[in-house]
Amino acid sequence: MSTDVDSEGEFETSSGGFDTDSLTGVGLEWTHRTESLFHAVLFGASVLGVVVLAVLIVDVILDALTGLAIGLDPVTFLTQHYSNDSSQAGFLGAIVGSVLLLFFTFLFSFFLGVGTAVYLEEYAPNTRVTRLIEANLTNLAGVPSVVYGLLALGVFVNGLRMGPILLAGSIALALLVVPIVIVASQEALRSVPDGMRNGSLATGATRWQTVRGVVLPSAMPGIVTGTILALARAIGETAPLLMVGTVWGLRHTPGPFDRFGAMTTQIYQWAFLPETELNFLAAMGIAVLLAILLGMYGVAFLVRNKYERSY
Amino acid sequence: MAQTDSLITTDVSVTDRERTSRPDETVVRADGLEVHYGEERALTDVDIDIPERKVTAIIGPSGCGKSTFLRCVNRMNDQIDTCRIDGDLSFHGKNVYDDDVDPVALRRKIGMVFQKPNPFPKSIRDNVAYGLRVQGKTDDVDARVRQALEGAALWEEVEGQLDSSGLDLSGGQQQRLCIARAIAPDPEVLLMDEPTSALDPVAAAKIEDLIADLAREYTVIIVTHNMQQAARISDKTAVFLTGGELVEFDDTATIFEDPDDQRVEDYITGRFG
Ligand SMILES: Nc1ncnc2c1ncn2[C@@H]1O[C@H](COP(=O)(O)OP(=O)(O)O)[C@@H](O)[C@H]1O
Ligand SMILES: [Mg+2]
């Protein structure tokens, strides 16, 4: 349809020789069909991941339930230390080890990571060196975790003679996590509109007052979410801790300067041994680990939803 | 001059200046001001004397350097890596690009309102108090916040909700909040870069009304692409044309009724006609 204006300035519509049949979609059937096919393939691909994950989780839960059915006691499991007798064996030391590892990993990685991100985004001049550093941070975030374990073993455990203590383990995890925290924090800082910075500077704030008063608070939900997700990765790591040297069968609650183990290494040990009962213990351990991970993801999700805003 | 010394340190003392009326005293003066972004020239040899406590409008087609000029006055151009400034731009006779001028101190004398309202994701109170806090003017914060909100004609609308977020306000209210934020620390000059272009006509009219009041206390320099707006609210008008050239600067009435320069006349009649 076209619109014409006649001499009086009023509007009048006419088909003006326009072929309205061309709007019926004849000839588009094939295009629509391939479109639906693509849609189905993409949907299938996205569902596949979820299905595999669901199968794994169901399998673990079934094993854990079987463990309970054959008389493994969940209270014993959560309150006792490792024992060679599977009915007496518990996960307590491993849980405490993981929580402490997580705490120190957070301490070592958060301030370093956020500080680096703030420097790179808010202060660093846009030079070749800066861009080189940024590119390498992204690469570091992809380095296999066992490498960080070897690094911690060489530098901290042996080099600085820390020995295979919990702090050395958390240093290994912090090395692993720092690049991830930096990259996530950079993303969060970049999402703060420049209008905020300009508004602050134009009000007579210094650069640091602007960062502290406006930019960081606005970026904090993103930074916190990113950090939690990075820590969730850390708590699921096994290899770097094995490199540093964990206790095979943790019979005590480790402190920061003690030899240590973690949930993952304990699960690894149980799953490795031939007795099926121990495999059920491993499944119960995985269930606990998954519950904690789920909790962390939940917190990250809540932070993101509660504080996410549009400008 | 006393004011110039205080640009040099960031520690600006809080004095409510006695603002005696000295008609047409120049506050901001450009002398041979040239600005480049990399190789591209944005302002060409600009000379202008902007009078105290008047509304000076800057008009011209888009890309002619209006915002660039404004950002020279409070050195917000410092934020742009490629930006290079030659010539003089003085505030009370002191070249603001002298080595001993601290841009932070300068900006404490010269507030700015941007094209897109940019309130902080903070409460209304904290938005207005922000400048006071960063400038260390922490006495009587509540009274100053109220005064600034009244000055920005926003007090009555937000009186009961000072603790709710500035982002929850409408666009026009957000822009007045930004005006309140800019005037709360009591600057001398208020720079406004197309402050109504992102707003609906009713909200824009409110801000236009406000500008006349602001000029009683502040020197207002306002960029606008809306010539009717310039004609309505300004005492002086500067017309920039493509190439970053200041073509004519005079009383607003003269610019709109009897401009010297043919290009200005063409530009104005072209838009009005
Ligand atoms: N940050 C910048 N980097 C490079 N060039 C810029 C920048 N800001 C403005 N310019 C250029 O300077 C000229 C003037 O821009 P501007 O001052 O924004 O004009 P106006 O506000 O009158 O529309 C334009 O040609 C624009 O492309
Ligand atoms: Mg502009």
Give, as one character, the DSSP assignment of residue A162.
-
Q: How confident is the model at residue A5 (pLDDT cuts 50, 70, 90)?
A: very low
Count CB-CB contacts under 10 A for residue A190. Answer: 13
- Assess whether pLDDT exceeds 90 at residue A52: yes
A77 lies in a domain? Answer: no
Q: Is B4 exposed, middle or buried (0-12, 13-18, 19+ CB in 10 A)?
A: middle
Q: How confident is the model at residue A2 (pLDDT cuts 50, 70, 90)?
A: very low
Residues A122 and A249 in one domain: yes
Q: Whose CA is nearest to atom 21 of ligand 1?
A: B67
Q: Give the span between the Cα atoms of A278 and A91, in whole angstroms.
A: 12
A228 lies in a domain? Answer: yes
A3 lies in a domain? Answer: no
pLDDT digits (tens, 9 = 90+) for B39-51: 999 999 999 999 9
Residues A24 and A104 in one domain: no
Q: Which one-letter amino acid corresponds to residue A234?
A: A
A14 lies in a domain? Answer: no
Q: How confident is the model at residue B8 (pLDDT cuts 50, 70, 90)?
A: low
- Which distant-in-sequence residues (6+ apart) come within 8 Å of A186 by Cβ? A117, A120, A121, A134
Residues A105 and A54 in one domain: no
Query: Residues A140-165: what's their mean pLDDT?
Result: 94
- Assess whether pLDDT exceeds 60 at residue B20: no
Select from B150, B187, B217, B215 the least CA-distant residue to B15: B187
Select from B241, B122, B272 the least CA-distant residue to A311: B122
Question: What's residue B183's pLDDT?
Answer: 96
Select from A104, A109, A111, A108 the least CA-distant residue to A166: A104
Pure H helices in chain B: 2-5, 66-73, 103-107, 124-134, 141-151, 155-158, 171-183, 201-217, 227-233, 252-257, 262-272
Q: How confident is the model at residue B182 (pLDDT cuts 50, 70, 90)?
A: very high
Question: What's residue A15's pLDDT?
Answer: 62
Residues A121 and A249 in one domain: yes
Positive or negative, the CA dihedral B244, B245, B251, B256 is negative
Give, as one character, the DSSP assignment of residue A155.
I
Residues A142 and A62 in one domain: no
Q: How confident is the model at residue A36 (pLDDT cuts 50, 70, 90)?
A: very high
Question: What's residue B272's pLDDT?
Answer: 45
A292 lies in a domain? Answer: yes
Closest atom, ligand 1, to C-alpha of B64: 22
- Assess whether pLDDT exceeds 50 at residue A89: yes
Residues A27 and A114 in one domain: no
Q: Is B197 exposed, middle or buried (0-12, 13-18, 19+ CB in 10 A)?
A: middle
Q: Which residue of A lies nearest to B115 if distances are taken between CA atoms? A: A195
Q: Which domain holds residue A151?
A: 92-307
What is the SS3 assignment for A149? helix
Assigned token pair, A176: 């692993």
Least confident of B15-29, B52-66, B188-202: B15-29
pLDDT digits (tens, 9 = 90+) for B203-240: 899 999 999 999 999 999 999 988 999 999 999 999 99
Question: What's residue B129's pLDDT?
Answer: 97
Which of A123, A201, A203 has the highest number of chain B CBs within 10 A, making it the mutation to test binding with B? A203
**Axis crossing angle, helix B141-151 with helix B124-134, rounded to the nearest 10:** 110
Option in B12, B120, B185 nearest A199 (CB): B120
Q: Is B160 exposed, middle or buried (0-12, 13-18, 19+ CB in 10 A)?
A: exposed
CATH topology of domain B12-268: Rossmann fold (3.40.50)
Q: Tell me the percentage of chain B whose pLDDT exceeds 70.
A: 90
A125 lies in a domain? Answer: yes
Question: What's residue B264's pLDDT?
Answer: 92
CATH number for the domain spanning A222: value is 1.10.3720.10
Q: Give the span between the Cα atoms of A6 and B264, in whole angstroms.
A: 36
Structural domains counted in chain A: 2
pLDDT digits (tens, 9 = 90+) for A222-243: 999 999 999 999 999 999 999 9
Phi-psi region of B57 (alpha: psi -120 to 50; beta: other; left: phi over 0): beta
- Assess whether pLDDT exceeds 60 at residue B10: no
Size of interface A-B (CB pairs under 8 A): 73
Select from B163, B167, B122 the least CA-distant residue to A200: B122
pLDDT digits (tens, 9 = 90+) for A12-22: 566 667 787 77
Residues A61 and A174 in one domain: no
Q: Write out A54-110 in H/E/C secondary structure.
A: HHHHHHHHHHHHHHHHCCCCHHHHHHCCCCCCCCCCCCHHHHHHHHHHHHHHHHHHH
Closest atom, ligand 1, to C-alpha of B193: 21
Q: Give the span between the Cα atoms of A194 and A216, in whole angstroms.
A: 13
A204 and B131 within 8 Å at the Cβ level: the answer is yes
Option in A197, A204, A311 nearest B107 (CB): A204
Q: Give the span between the Cα atoms of A228 and A215, in whole angstroms.
A: 20
- Assess whether pLDDT exceeds 60 at residue A114: yes
CA A43 to chain centre: 24
Residues A28 and A98 in one domain: no
Positive or negative, the CA dihedral A61, A65, A70, A72 is positive
pLDDT digits (tens, 9 = 90+) for B250-264: 999 999 999 999 999
Is B243 a pocket residue for ligand 1 (Cβ < 6 Å)?
no
Residues A193 and A302 in one domain: yes
A63 lies in a domain? Answer: yes
Residues A143 and A33 in one domain: no
Is B37 a pocket residue for ligand 1 (Cβ < 6 Å)?
yes
Count CB-CB contacts under 10 A for residue B178. Answer: 29
Q: What Å distances lie between residue A37 and A31, A43, A51, A167, B79, CA to CA?
A: 10, 10, 21, 54, 51
Quote the Cα angle for B9-B13-B16, to 5°: 135
Give the N- to C-terminal CA distance of chain B in Å, as an integer.
46
Q: How confident is the model at residue B160 (pLDDT cuts 50, 70, 90)?
A: very high
Assigned token pair, A90: 């518990």
Q: Whose CA is nearest to atom 5 of ligand 1?
A: B37
- Assess whether pLDDT exceeds 90 at residue A71: no
Whole-model pTM: value is 0.84
Phi, psi angle pair for B123, to nearest 5°: -65, 160
Residues A146 and A294 in one domain: yes
Q: Whose CA is nearest to atom 1 of ligand 1?
A: B80
Q: Whose CA is nearest to atom 4 of ligand 1?
A: B37
Q: Tell me the percentage of chain B whose pLDDT exceeds 90.
A: 85
Q: How confident is the model at residue A159 (pLDDT cuts 50, 70, 90)?
A: very high
Helix (H) or strand (E) holding B191: strand B189-193
Residues A259 and A127 in one domain: yes
Select from A57, A87, A53 the least CA-distant residue to A72: A87
Q: Is A191 on the interface with B (CB under 8 A)?
A: no
Q: How confident is the model at residue A310 (pLDDT cuts 50, 70, 90)?
A: low
Q: Give the span between the Cα atoms of B50 and B28, in whole angstroms.
A: 5
**Axis crossing angle, helix B124-134 with helix B171-183, rounded to the nearest 10:** 20
